[in-house]
Structure 1
């Protein structure tokens, strides 16, 4: 009997111990969870990222301190309102529609917002919005974690504006070079026309104007006038090309470039050697811009060759291709430049003896056109080469441009067209 009572007491004590231990363990777990929750809340509240929690109807239930600090709104001011309170009214409705379709279908969405603070200042945000599900698998809340990218956007905008200014300056430089080419092309024909016209007047005045002399002088005036007219047509064709993206023949583009500078080549007694392995190569882009690149590089070479005096002056152009790219090599025998110059030659405003008459913008814009528009590469290096059994040194410009893929095969123009 006494033994049975002892066993009951021991069992009760054991049960009580288990209950006390269970209660203490439960209290410990609850306290630990509360501490962890508090630490998590403190971490979220003091995070540099913006944190916004909304219910399934997108009514705001929580914003952290960073969000409050940047927007100027307290939690009390935005609670139960939608995030539209932050919208700057710049993003189109379709953008939000696609976002809502994603998050309400249970997907995570990542994108950017253009919002504003309480004072109306623009805030650029990179955001990730995730749906939060309850135990039944239904969407209960949405969690948005956002980063302030306003400074990055402002820097990018500033760089784009600077790049635009540099591009405009460079285009003005190239335009000036084109106009100088026109002046060079016209100088001698105008002089011949003026001399012939003066000759007609003088011979007429002294009565020595016979039919043959009249015909010779008139032919001279007519021929040079036609040359001037052809020059106008060449430059008109260049300016008329415009900024349309087309599929064009690269050999034709180099021929057009040559027509813009042929008088200066002749005047400087520069031998122009052109070789093209395949005269059917075509590219897609703004042809006018590529012609500007060619004219600029050729003008740089002519500037340098002008200093060679009576020595032979050469410009050699070679076009070749492989399965993926077209390669345009333009080289001269103007003795080359230093490696230090080569490394800086595509920087804006950097000038060399290969560009001593310009502002240093031509090669910069050439680099921009080739890399940005044609997705290609342009490089310069000193080179040695032989031509007609003689050795020369100079600079070689290599332009590498990806060829059109097979999707454009049927769009290719016939030779002699744009």
Structure 2
């Protein structure tokens, strides 16, 4: 277990053990790689040596052919048969490498030259077999005729002066002028002995390299271990000093924690006061909005009442006011006053919170919100267009849903007035898609600033002055739609302005 008591030991031992493990794995993988390298290099050395031996055979055959061509070209004294006999006897004297020699058959399978088969010269040699029973003369001649420029053939034959057979690699080429098959060969075990010697030298060189690297690795490991031990001791001392300081600070923290709860409680109370102040400010702003809308709703009927009273006053001044006129004026004034009273009731009921969810038609909420804001919008010379394509029932809080629509249209009106947009316009559209009612509120005020798009629904965030907004309207609207009614409220910028979209399951 990691405890404060054994941490100093861990600090000392961990780097040393780490260095040992790293060195061990490095040495292990290094040796593995060197062994792999040795195997690959051995194959390459073997292939290179065999390739060199094949080149020797080709070179020897080419030398004989060059010699024959030279003798044929410069011969002026000997007959053709005498020249052939001279060349054949000369080839029997040639030796190369350890057991290499030259022999010649013609294409009729007759042996013409061989340094170790004198008794078989000029005999029909087609029945000659090697140690495994292959008719080697027939194979030499037939394959060389098919490959006149040279062919390699493996077979088993005795070394000069030996009884046992050894595997041999022969090279044969056709001298077409005399129809001779000229052969040269090297014994594989001689080649393999040279290859083994080369492999042995390579293995010794790699072993020496491995021993050197292992020695250096252990030396480095020892040095690093000593350095790690010294550094770990210093770190351990520093850690102990740090522990002492921590203990002192813990005592101070205990004292501070005793008073922390009181400080937290005070801070919470201050935040709650601030939230209550903000909510109070929000209510005042809503009251201000409501009073402004009531004022706009009352302006026309008040003007009409004033007109009726002026008309009645004028009639009385000229003594034309009779009972009928007075009665009609009173009735008409009562109608207007009653309308104003209903307006007060509408606003008062509109801002009352719903206590339970109900089924209601979207169009009803839309028309309720439009009726409350229409006079205010008209007073600002803003055109309000609404297009209700589909009217479905949804489940939720009817007044709160209407308040969201009113808040979105009110925000659109404020930004249109603030930016002094020419031909200001607010569009309200209701549609249906994939089982959801889609309500869109759009203006032509050039949209929301890009840096504000992600913040617009945050509480207390507002682009208005403190006297015009609290930053809670859109936040509360989002809560009503998404938390209370399980819908979605989003915003995006279009070509002309901001588009707020409400999506609610029908």
Partners of 1:178 and 1:375 lie apart in 2 by 28
**1:399 and 2:499 correspond:** no
Partner residue, 1:333 = 444
Which structure dedicates a bigger proportion of its chain to strand? 1
Larger radius of gyration: 2
* CA distance 1:307–1:159, shift in 2 (3 Å): closer
SS in 1 for 2:477: helix
SS in 2 for 1:290: helix
Partner residue, 1:409 = none
Q: How far does the alpha carbon of each residue in 1:19-57 deviate from its partner, in whole angstroms, 9 at most, with x for none?
A: xxxxxxxxxxxxxxxxx5xx57979xxxxxxxxxxxxxx
**1:244 and 2:355 correspond:** yes
> Once the 2 structures are TM-superposed, how far is the Cα of residue 369 of structure 1 from its aligned partner?
3.1
Partners of 1:185 and 1:164 lie apart in 2 by 31
Partner residue, 1:185 = 297
> Once the 2 structures are TM-superposed, how far is the Cα of residue 282 of structure 1 from its aligned partner?
0.9
Partners of 2:462 and 2:372 lie apart in 1 by 25
Partners of 1:324 and 1:40 lie apart in 2 by 61
SS in 1 for 2:320: coil
Partners of 2:457 and 2:396 lie apart in 1 by 24
Partner residue, 1:229 = 341
Where structure 2 has 5 or more consecutive residues not aligned to the other structure, the ranges are 7-246
Partners of 2:280 and 2:5 lie apart in 1 by 52
SS in 1 for 2:390: coil
Contact 1:192 1:220 in 2 (8 A): no
Partners of 1:207 and 1:309 lie apart in 2 by 50
**1:173 and 2:285 correspond:** yes
Partners of 1:159 and 1:372 lie apart in 2 by 24
Which structure dedicates a bigger proportion of its chain to helix? 2
Partners of 1:156 and 1:331 lie apart in 2 by 40
Partners of 1:303 and 1:362 lie apart in 2 by 13
Matches within 5 A, 1:6-17: none
Partners of 2:365 and 2:280 lie apart in 1 by 22
Contact 1:174 1:292 in 2 (8 A): no
Partners of 1:313 and 1:215 lie apart in 2 by 43
> Once the 2 structures are TM-superposed, how far is the Cα of residue 307 of structure 1 from its aligned partner?
5.8
Partners of 1:371 and 1:282 lie apart in 2 by 14
SS in 1 for 2:384: strand
Partner residue, 1:204 = 316
Q: Over the residues paired in the alignment, what is the CA RMSD in angstroms? A: 4.4
Partners of 2:266 and 2:437 lie apart in 1 by 38
Q: How far does the alpha carbon of each residue in 1:147-200 deviate from its partner, in whole angstroms, 9 at most, with x for none?
A: xxx98x999998788666544543432232122211221123123213322432
Contact 1:181 1:260 in 2 (8 A): yes
Partners of 1:280 and 1:260 lie apart in 2 by 22
Contact 1:367 1:378 in 2 (8 A): yes
Given candidates 276, 279, 296, the residue that maps to 2:391 is 279
Number of matched residues? 263
Where structure 1 has 5 or more consecutive residues not aligned to the other structure, the ranges are 1-35, 44-64, 73-116, 124-149, 385-392, 405-418
Partners of 2:328 and 2:424 lie apart in 1 by 34
> Once the 2 structures are TM-superposed, how far is the Cα of residue 266 of structure 1 from its aligned partner?
3.0
Partners of 1:256 and 1:365 lie apart in 2 by 19
* CA distance 1:319–1:168, shift in 2 (3 Å): farther
Contact 2:404 2:477 in 1 (8 A): yes
SS in 2 for 1:251: helix
Please report the TM-score for the alignment, with normalisation by the length of structure 1: 0.50
